[in-house]
Amino acid sequence: MSALAGSSLDSLNQWVARVAALTQPDAVHWCDGSDAENEALTAAMQADGTLIKLNEQTHPGSWLHRSDPEDVARVEHLTFVCTSDRDDAGPNNHWMAPADGHAKMDALFQGCMRGRTMYVIPYCMGPIDSPLSRCGVEITDSRYVVANMRIMTRMGAPALARIEREGNFVKGLHSTGELDPDRRFIMHFPEELEIKSYGSGYGGNALLGKKCHALRIASHQARSEGWLAEHMLILGLENPQGETHYIAAAFPSACGKTNLAMLIPPEGYLKDGWKVTTVGDDICWMRPGSDGRLYAINPEAGFFGVAPGTSKKSNPNALASIQSNTIFTNVGLTADNQPWWEGLDEGEPVTDWRGEPYDAAKRPAAHPNSRFTVSARQCPSYSQESENPVGVPISAIVFGGRRPSLVPLVFEARDWTHGVLIGAAMGSETTAAATGAVGVMRRDPMAMKPFCGYNFADYFSHWLDFDNGRNQLPKVFHVNWFRRGEQGDFLWPGFGENLRVLEWMIGRVNGTAGAVETPIGNLPTASDLNLEGVELSTEAMEKLFGFERAGWQQEFASIGEYLEEYGPRMPQALKGEQQRIAAQLQE
């Protein structure tokens, strides 16, 4: 595909021409998303070693990619939001003046594509005909990025046609550069709807439709247009009566979003007729419908999931999804060229993620943040509602993180303002999805700390604005699957058993489930959940369903200090809610 004529594409053609003049590629290729194009790109990557063919009998159409060992995760410390006013980016983002950001990036991009092909990728985030969807164009010199964007977005000719109709799009410029960690930056210019990323080939830094567009830029778009762009899964929960409720849930990366999105009900629930369908596992765009309910789409078309820990026990649907037509990144290999990672039920690695002979004493077979990229349509629990241009109505919003102590299994917010505070105060242990120390507790509001494209104080205000008397807002809950006992063991079995908690939530939505009021919210007693077949120790019962006043007094003091970090922009309603609960906890 070459540059196309048409007045509404003039700005796109001009931008591509400017980028080509700056980066000086040997050739420019406009991606059409066709099978023939993908086959040609895949063959080229196999020839140059970018992709390694996996066992065609066990994993047909699947490939292994090994990234540079210094390029294996998001680099939050090198990720910037460039706004005219520093306060608009907020203390939750690294900031740079737009002029300085462009100058720094353009100096890096100067001549960087000599000897390479420049790929122009038109894409649509969300169903191609949905009014909730938004389009973008990524320019990259990485065939690996093209192959992944084809899976993760609606990429190619249909997206270009929508861009021609609408005349606007998010601009994304990416180059792997030299893969030098000292020459690696990801810059966002929300006021210009533009992204520039240099020096990384890793998913979140290089697949610009994902976190960069669908969260950082989209959150800015959402604020100005009256919707929400969130780091949330979307699942459908159908009860034996045939009623389906849709739940959106926010967890930090590698905290079980994909597992929950693809949950398989416990055996007794399956026999009774309960079903879970998967609309999305990572990103959720929501806006009020004509009836005032929040309707959500998954802007992505695929899954970019964490491989380690994915097994028949933890997530059989995910494992079934990735048996064919999948790109694996930084996993190990067995002797017969099957992908392998820690947590798999069978197989034995002989080669690690760096391509070296596997030695458990040296490093794990798969990098802790190794990934799989696969079409959502391959998931056994895939929901046909994923392509519904209207989206799905959300009954409940769930927040959660890794909290080994204090936080019970589940509790419910009293109202929307309390729910926003619960999301704003979310804390979780860090994981391998980002560079830095693992296992450190940090505040991660709405699981958006690495992804909110503007000041968190303004973001909380935007959430509060949805409670306007016209909207029928979902109930808000908080869960903690990761509570540990005195011996360090998990107290809740998790995985499919989490459906028991979701059932209670829907009971609260319908007004049929019981709860006990506490200062932190409404908690179920053990008898409010269906625990048939679940064996819980006395310690587990106490801690999963208990309320520890002294610990929560300290927690709310910490939350108050955290909110003050955002200064005068922090909405008084949220501070007032924190103060009200803190006072209740002292009574």
End-to-end CA distance of the chain: 69
Catalytic residue from among 31, 112, 135, 255:
255
Same-domain status, 29 and 107: yes
Q: What is the pLDDT, as a whole number, of residue 7?
A: 56
pLDDT of residue 1: 41
Residues 458 and 550 in one domain: yes
Averaged pLDDT for residues 286-305: 97
Q: Judge whether 255 is annotated as a binding position.
A: yes
Known binder of ligand: residue 560?
no
Rg (CA), the chain: 23
Q: Is residue 243 part of a domain?
A: yes
Q: If you count DSSP H runs as helices and E runs as strands, how many of each does the chain have, helices first? A: 17, 30
Last residue of a domain, one of 190, 207, 225: 225
Burial class (CB in 10 A: 0-12, 13-18, 19+), 526: middle
Question: Quick one: 175 and 221 in the same domain?
Answer: yes
231 assigned to a ligand binding site: yes
Alpha carbons 194 and 191: distance in angstroms, whole number: 8
Whether residue 100 is predicted with pLDDT greater than 80 in this model: the reply is yes
Final residue before a domain boundary, out of 169, 204, 225: 225
Per-residue pLDDT at 253: 76
Neighbours of 511 (CB within 10 A): 6
**In this predicted structure, what is the pLDDT of residue 575?**
98
Residue 193 makes CB contacts below 8 A (sequence gap 6+) with 168, 169, 170, 171, 217, 221
Q: Across all residues in the chain, what is the average pLDDT?
A: 96
Give CA separation, 202 vs 75, 198, 210, 230, in Å: 10, 11, 12, 21
Q: Is 256 annotated as a binding residue?
A: yes
Q: Is 465 inside any structural domain?
A: yes
CATH code of the domain covering residue 28 = 3.40.449.10
pLDDT for the residue numbered 288: 98
DSSP string over 128-174: TT-TT-EEEEEEES-HHHHHHHHHHSEESHHHHHHHHHH---EEEEE
pLDDT confidence of residue 6: 53
Q: Residue 434 — very low, low, confident or very high, per pLDDT cuts 50/70/90?
A: low
* 353 falls within a domain: no
Residue 371 included in any domain: no
Residue 487 lies in a domain: yes
Tell the burial category of 388 from Cβ atoms under 10 Å away from its Cβ (0-12, 13-18, 19+).
Answer: middle
Look at residues 556, 420, 434 and name the one whose alpha carbon lies nearest to residue 478.
420
177 and 239 share one domain: no
Mean pLDDT across 55-76: 95
Question: Residue 254 annotated as binding?
Answer: yes
* Same-domain status, 192 and 91: yes
Claim to verify: residue 100 and residue 176 sit in the same structural domain = yes
**Residue 167 clears pLDDT 50, i.e. is over it:** yes
Find out whether 37 and 188 touch, Cβ atoms under 8 Å.
Answer: no
Integer Cα distance of 304 and 210 in angstroms: 9
pLDDT at 5 > cutoff 70: no
pLDDT tens-digit series, residues 437-496: 666 788 999 999 999 999 999 999 999 999 999 999 999 999 999 999 999 999 999 999
Q: Tell me: pLDDT of 337 over 90.
A: yes
Q: Quote the pLDDT of residue 348.
A: 97
Domain span at residue 96 reads 7-51+71-225
Does some domain include residue 151?
yes
Instruction: Give the CATH number for residue 570.
Output: 3.90.228.20
211 is annotated as contributing to ligand binding: yes
pLDDT band at 432 (very low <50, low <70, confident <90, very high): low
The first and second tokens of residue 264, run together, are: 């398989």
> Do 291 and 164 reside in the same domain of the chain?
no
- pLDDT on residue 362: 98
Q: Is the confidence at residue 2, as pLDDT, over 50?
A: no
Residues 210 and 236 in one domain: no
Could you write out the DSSP letters of every residue in 311-329? STTT-HHHHHHTTSS-EEE
CA 372 to chain CA mean position, Å: 14
- Dump pLDDT digits (tens) for 377-412: 999 999 999 999 999 999 999 999 999 999 999 999
259 assigned ligand-binding residue: yes
Is 508 part of any known ligand binding site?
no
Of 364, 495, 482, nearest to 430 by C-alpha is 482
354 falls within a domain = no
Residue 313 counted as an annotated binding residue: no
Annotated active-site residue 255? The verdict is: yes
Q: Check the annotation: does 156 bind a ligand.
A: no
- What pLDDT does residue 550 have? 97
Mean pLDDT of 316-326: 97
**Looking at 225, 254, 276, which one is the last position of a domain?**
225
Q: pLDDT by residue (tens digit) across 500-541?
A: 999 999 999 999 999 999 999 999 999 999 999 999 999 999
354 is in an annotated binding site: no
Residue 475 shares a structural domain with residue 547: yes
Q: Please check if 369 is assigned to a binding site.
A: yes
* Number of structural domains the chain divides into: 2
- Whether residues 480 and 552 share a domain: the answer is yes
Q: Say if 355 falls within a structural domain.
A: no
List the beta strands (DSSP E) in 239-298.
244-250, 275-280, 284-288, 294-297
Q: Is the domain of 490 the same as that of 547?
A: yes
| 203 marked ligand binding residue | yes
Check whether residue 166 and residue 138 sit in a common domain. Answer: yes
